[in-house]
Amino acid sequence: MKLPIAIQLFFCPLNTDLLDESSAFIVRSWLPEDEVKKVDRFIQQLSRDQGLMVRGYLRSVLSRFASIEPDEWQFEYGEKGKPRLTAEQFADTGLQFNLSHSGDWLLIGVVKTNGAIQQQGEIELGVDIERRRETTNIHSILNHYFSKPEESALLALSEDKHRERFLIYGRLKSPI
């Protein structure tokens, strides 16, 4: 298998002061009805605006890699809601992406594969961004991300060590 020909990362600010009415209108016009409904479900205006910005950034970043307008991108969703291009658009573009957001930042990773990689899943790109915090409440997410031995090891540490070990385990699980 040949290696990917391009991997790029985009750090995008989620500062809602950057989203004026005109920009919000344009981004909303790019979205199909199901995505508009997802954005509108957020209770807080800040969350709605950031949700809109995430979708707008993703579509505009992807359009840098292919002759597809932002409103023409089509996504499928995995069992945990992770978006990916439809099989048809992947076949046409060779693009895969991953995104992560935390606080006021969005990270989008895009990989453009060559013809040797024919199906989604033959290469997987994972990105993660985490805002700097002094502590992390690991208890609510332990059983979603870690094995029983990892969970036990984390809980055996003093609370001030949880965050550091949590981030180490997370990096070890990263697919790239």
Instruction: Tell me the pLDDT tens digit for each residue of 47-92.
Output: 999 999 999 999 999 999 999 999 999 999 887 788 999 999 999 9
Higher local confidence (pLDDT), 34 or 172 = 34
Q: What is the pLDDT of residue 7?
A: 85
CATH number of the domain to which 36 belongs: 3.90.470.20
What pLDDT is recorded for position 159? 75
pTM over 0.75: no
Specify if 136 maps to a domain.
no
Look at residue 172 in the predicted model and tell me its pLDDT: 47
Domain residue limits at 105: 6-112
Please give the pLDDT value at position 47. 94
Q: Do both 87 and 149 map to the same domain?
A: no
Rounded alpha-carbon distances, angstroms, from residue 103 to 84, 97, 107, 130: 23, 20, 11, 8
pLDDT of residue 167: 67
- Whether residue 131 lies inside any domain: the answer is no
The mean pLDDT of the chain is 83
| 108, HSE (Cβ side, Cα atoms, 13 Å) | 22
Residue 19 forms part of a structural domain? yes
Residue 1 lies in a domain: no
- The reported pLDDT for the residue numbered 57 is 97
Same domain? For 20 and 98 the reply is yes
For the chain, the three-class secondary structure string (H helix, E strand, C coil) is: CCCCCEEEEEEEECCHHHCCHHHHHHHHHHCCHHHHHHHHCCCCHHHHHHHHHHHHHHHHHHHCCCCCCHHHCCEEECCCCCEEECHHHHHHHCEEEEEEEECCEEEEEEEECCCCCCCCCCCCCCCCCCCCCCCCCCCCCHHHHCCHHHHHHHHHCCHHHHHHHHHHHHHHHCCC
User: CA angle at residue 79 from 28 to 164, to 5 degrees?
Assistant: 90
Is 118 a member of any domain? no
Calculate Rg over the CA atoms of the chain: 18
- pLDDT tens per residue across span 76-132: 988 778 899 999 999 999 899 999 998 899 999 999 876 545 555 566 777 877 776
User: Is 35 within a domain?
Assistant: yes
Q: Give tens-digit pLDDT for 23-51.
A: 999 999 999 999 999 999 999 999 999 99
Number of structural domains in the chain: 2
Residue 124: inside a domain, yes or no? no
> Bridge partners of 85?
75
Q: Is residue 125 part of a domain?
A: no
pLDDT in tens, 140-157: 666 666 778 877 887 787
